[in-house]
């Protein structure tokens, strides 16, 4: 019981610290230096704080899913999930715009800068966030809260669900947009991929492809 309490407290406090700093920086974004470097500050905290904890706890990177073992299987799983999920998302987004918001539907456009934006989201958004949420947070919680159910061949537990909740809450607390709470659902998919493959590689790629799909509609 004490181990569960300590892990839950550690994860929650680190989340509050990181998101709190991001929120302050977002509030100060009118300052040119901060506005130009805000993504780097956020990515740095998401990346380096888990690495520091990894070293302090003397954990192997593999224990937190920071490994390229089975990379081919991870890539294949991520691409398969993308082929299944993302076309359905586009259909739902179309009806959301036209039926719920009564807007003109967004046209799917592959702009000349899409690939560079995709690389940015892959390296500076998806990778750091997955290291923090699915690498550190979900793995740390799994140590105290064992995965007791299996969903589509992946062992899942409290850590998977709580991480998805904090993932959505973290997006919301930055600019207080209610629609960002919907990131809870892809967060569940990212967490499933991490457990299914034993690595964050699949969740990083699928996360980037989700963001890339949004970019096609922007």
Is residue 78 within 8 Å of residue 209, measured between CB atoms?
yes
pLDDT digit string (tens) for 19-62? 999 999 999 988 998 888 888 899 999 999 998 988 888 888 99
Q: How many CA atoms lie within 13 A of 43 on its CB side?
A: 13
DSSP state of 136: I
pTM: 0.92
Residue 149's H or E segment, with its range, is strand 149-151
Residue 48 is encoded by which pair of tokens? 């380096």
In angstroms, the CA 20 to CA 13 distance is 10
Our count of domains for the chain comes to 1
- For 143-194, the pLDDT digits (tens) are 999 888 999 999 999 999 999 999 999 999 998 989 899 999 999 999 999 9
Determine what percent of the chain falls in helix, strand and coil, rounding each to the nearest 5.
Answer: 80, 5, 20
**What tokens appear for 82 in the block?**
């993308």
- Domain holding 76, by residue range, is 2-217
| Number of Cβ within a 10 Å radius of residue 171 | 19
């Amino acid at each position: 019981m004490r181990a569960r309490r300590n892990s839950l407290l550690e994860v929650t406090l680190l989340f509050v610290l990181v998101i709190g700093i991001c929120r302050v920086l977002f509030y100060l974004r009118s300052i040119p230096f901060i506005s130009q470097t805000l993504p780097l500050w956020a990515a740095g905290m998401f990346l380096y704080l888990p690495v520091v904890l990894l070293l302090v706890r003397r954990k192997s990177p593999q224990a937190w899913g920071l490994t390229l073992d089975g990379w081919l299987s991870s890539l294949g799983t991520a691409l398969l999930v993308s082929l299944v999920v993302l076309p359905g998302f586009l259909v739902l987004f179309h009806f959301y715009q036209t039926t719920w918001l009564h807007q003109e539907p967004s046209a799917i456009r592959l702009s000349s800068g899409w690939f560079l934006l995709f690389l940015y989201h892959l390296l500076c958004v998806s990778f750091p966030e997955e290291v923090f949420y699915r690498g550190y947070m979900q793995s740390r919680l799994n140590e105290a809260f064992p995965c007791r159910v299996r969903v589509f061949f992946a062992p899942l537990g409290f850590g998977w669900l709580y991480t998805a909740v904090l993932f959505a809450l973290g997006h919301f607390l930055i600019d207080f947009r209610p629609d960002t709470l919907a990131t809870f659902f892809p967060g569940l998919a990212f967490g499933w991929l991490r457990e299914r493959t034993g690595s964050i590689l699949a969740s990083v790629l699928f996360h980037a492809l989700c963001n890339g799909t949004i970019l096609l509609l922007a």
